[in-house]
Structure 1
């Protein structure tokens, strides 16, 4: 089922298959991710991540994603963003059936952003019938014709080189991703805590990708280069029942350092913060929640919602105090579970570019 052929009925049907429909989802956090995880595999500290196995799917866990964002520029210095995401969701815990009997659902999101436009597309597929999936040797993640594929000399430690492509009625792109450094573990050696009550995920990233390729927007081809960041995360209950969504940054700092930050919003206002400072040589150091300050400064009205599209971010222990601005404040993903996702730039003690994702608004 391609994004261009999706009807309102098929979107609602796909959401129902995911078991995350409508008001129930938002009553239990963004997209139902705060639901009880009984029967699914638990995320526990101390479990080592291994590769290439952890590049592949984990059907015993309820949800996971392969998530790529890219900050790109053309020859004239115009900025763009590109997103490629594959989600796997298990509708039920327990034994895995074959073919149409599998409880696995796959969903793909893709987007291209410029200063004046934001184009988004969505795909759904049922697991077990080869419409979507991930293999580790050779590495390939796909849903219909959208693909993330390992190229010759692919290295499991760096998840590179890769070819990434997606297309819809309004846009398409093909990007080559290269990385000279290994992937990094987020949280504490890949164990990423989401609350003080036990919610967590396994989480690693490749923040060092260089990107080159072609975007096509409304029929116009644009050669681009830039930086890209891939997140891999899997869990069975990544949110607590009283957490409504998150605000997440991936930032490319000067001298090739990287910064990942998120704020999980709680109904009582006692939000949970986490992050990792990643040095240029690949050392990933977890930040204490109390060391992170993320404060919205500009609100934008989008689709009947007030979205915080500009922020002040401070980490005093690292001498970081920056202000972020979106490339396009209206980077709203008009997908079955809508959210804001787009490229940002920042200035202050440090300057650079990155991506911001905000869910549950």
Structure 2
């Protein structure tokens, strides 16, 4: 998810309702940054049923490189890149570059015009500068007509204007985005095969039929390149993570948001975990996760195998939303006990959605040995419950 998937967003980041609703507004405009005025809640965006699109109801075979590309028979999907990067002298940065596709209608009538629009795309680009205690976030929308935005499988590419990700992940995917004071130009190469989340890539979010996504992750992408900030360019290297999901509806009516964790440990293992929060304060029983071994083998973790305790909170001075801000995450059966904290507390994206997503650092033990690591956490739906601005979706 980031998502949960974010997994999804949550995210998940599945921008269903948002892009469909905003699509009519930006349909005739080229890619550009969008002011943060029209905001939609995570529950509105992800509970849309979108008649005519395919529903995710059972496991299906995955095929690569085809599944790196778009799945237009489903309403929504995303390509969700996050990562932690360092300069040679230890200056630390986090980045997020995410692309979302939303179909405007199922089985659209073929039109000969090159301006014919079948999908609306959205992208989020964010940078965390730890040394400067600064966080930057921007977004874009575009239609896919005339090649202004789009996605393809072979060779893989997804783009909105000059923001793009392209290239075989096993050989190196180039990630490029620039706007205002921030830019990245990175190559991320996957060191492990795709991890099929949930039941062989079938990730259920509730017992409602179709409330699921197809979901895979590339959990350890060795990354190098440049990052620019306020006129200064840095050579950086580190690790990135890709979450890929597609679906037509995900959140049920009683679900308000999720907490999503993508954690990369120094012992070569990774952990994905998400929990979907219900309006009554409980956790969705179908929330799940995965633990990936250094050799790429993974095991699926059920909700009851993952213990997440909130150790601290942070209240946004911008929106008044109160977010969890430090966690203890335990998987007793795997002898995993981690403490997770943000590199910066204020990593709240205030774009077309408002949500918290940011770089985190990790200390703990795994199989009785000390372990450290880095990762990303995404938090959605908190503003809905507190009465502040509504939140984003992954």
The two structures have a TM-score, normalised by structure 1, of: 0.89
Alignment-derived partner of residue 214 in structure 1? 226
- Separation (CA, whole Å) in 2 of partners of 1:267 and 1:64: 25
1:225-268 CA distance string (max 9 Å, x none): 10110111011112112211111010002321111000111112
Instruction: Indicate the SS of the match to 2:378.
Output: strand
Instruction: Indicate the SS of the match to 1:106.
Output: strand
* 1:76 aligns to 2:97 (yes or no): no
- Separation (CA, whole Å) in 2 of partners of 1:305 and 1:196: 29
Measured at CA, do residues 25 and 112 of structure 1 come closer, stay the same or move farther in structure 2, by a change above 3 Å? closer
Instruction: Indicate the SS of the match to 2:200.
Output: coil
Instruction: Indicate the SS of the match to 1:58.
Output: coil
Once the two structures are TM-superposed, the CA of residue 31 in structure 1 deviates from its matched residue by 5.2
- Separation (CA, whole Å) in 2 of partners of 1:318 and 1:41: 37
Aligned pairs, number: 341
> Aligned to 1:351, which of 372, 379, 383?
372
> Aligned to 1:289, which of 303, 325, 328?
303
> Aligned to 2:258, which of 246, 269, 291?
246
Measured at CA, do residues 33 and 14 of structure 1 come closer, stay the same or move farther in structure 2, by a change above 3 Å? closer
- Separation (CA, whole Å) in 2 of partners of 1:175 and 1:299: 33
Alignment-derived partner of residue 129 in structure 1? 146
1:241-320 equivalences in 2 (<5 Å): 241-272=253-284, 273-302=287-316, 303-320=319-336
- Do the aligned residues in 1 keep the contact of 2:362 with 2:372 (CA within 8 Å)? yes
Once the two structures are TM-superposed, the CA of residue 213 in structure 1 deviates from its matched residue by 1.0
RMSD: 2.2
Instruction: Indicate the SS of the match to 2:51.
Output: coil
1:9-48 equivalences in 2 (<5 Å): 16-18=21-23, 25-26=40-41, 29-30=42-43, 32-48=45-61
Structure 2 unmatched ranges of 5 or more: 1-17, 26-35, 366-370, 383-394
- Separation (CA, whole Å) in 1 of partners of 2:279 and 2:208: 15
Structure 1 unmatched ranges of 5 or more: 1-12
- Separation (CA, whole Å) in 2 of partners of 1:242 and 1:19: 28
- Separation (CA, whole Å) in 2 of partners of 1:117 and 1:240: 36
- Separation (CA, whole Å) in 2 of partners of 1:63 and 1:51: 19
Alignment-derived partner of residue 77 in structure 2? 64
- Separation (CA, whole Å) in 2 of partners of 1:159 and 1:122: 28
- Separation (CA, whole Å) in 2 of partners of 1:294 and 1:23: 33
Instruction: Indicate the SS of the match to 2:267.
Output: helix
Once the two structures are TM-superposed, the CA of residue 101 in structure 1 deviates from its matched residue by 4.4
Alignment-derived partner of residue 387 in structure 2? none
Alignment-derived partner of residue 10 in structure 1? none
- Do the aligned residues in 1 keep the contact of 2:127 with 2:136 (CA within 8 Å)? yes
Once the two structures are TM-superposed, the CA of residue 284 in structure 1 deviates from its matched residue by 1.9
Once the two structures are TM-superposed, the CA of residue 281 in structure 1 deviates from its matched residue by 1.2
Instruction: Indicate the SS of the match to 1:160.
Output: coil
Asked which structure has the greater RCO (Cα within 8 Å, sep 6+), the reply is 2
Measured at CA, do residues 224 and 30 of structure 1 come closer, stay the same or move farther in structure 2, by a change above 3 Å? farther
Alignment-derived partner of residue 321 in structure 1? 337
* 1:330 aligns to 2:346 (yes or no): yes
Alignment-derived partner of residue 392 in structure 2? none
1:10-43 CA distance string (max 9 Å, x none): xxx97743489999942xx445101224322011
* 1:177 aligns to 2:197 (yes or no): no
- Separation (CA, whole Å) in 1 of partners of 2:335 and 2:222: 27
Instruction: Indicate the SS of the match to 2:304.
Output: helix
- Separation (CA, whole Å) in 2 of partners of 1:58 and 1:261: 25
- Separation (CA, whole Å) in 1 of partners of 2:171 and 2:82: 15
- Do the aligned residues in 2 keep the contact of 1:96 with 1:103 (CA within 8 Å)? no
* 1:147 aligns to 2:158 (yes or no): no
- Separation (CA, whole Å) in 2 of partners of 1:254 and 1:205: 18
1:106-140 CA distance string (max 9 Å, x none): 00111110220111111110123211111122111
- Separation (CA, whole Å) in 1 of partners of 2:39 and 2:136: 28
The two structures have a TM-score, normalised by structure 2, of: 0.82
Once the two structures are TM-superposed, the CA of residue 88 in structure 1 deviates from its matched residue by 0.3
Instruction: Indicate the SS of the match to 1:175.
Output: strand
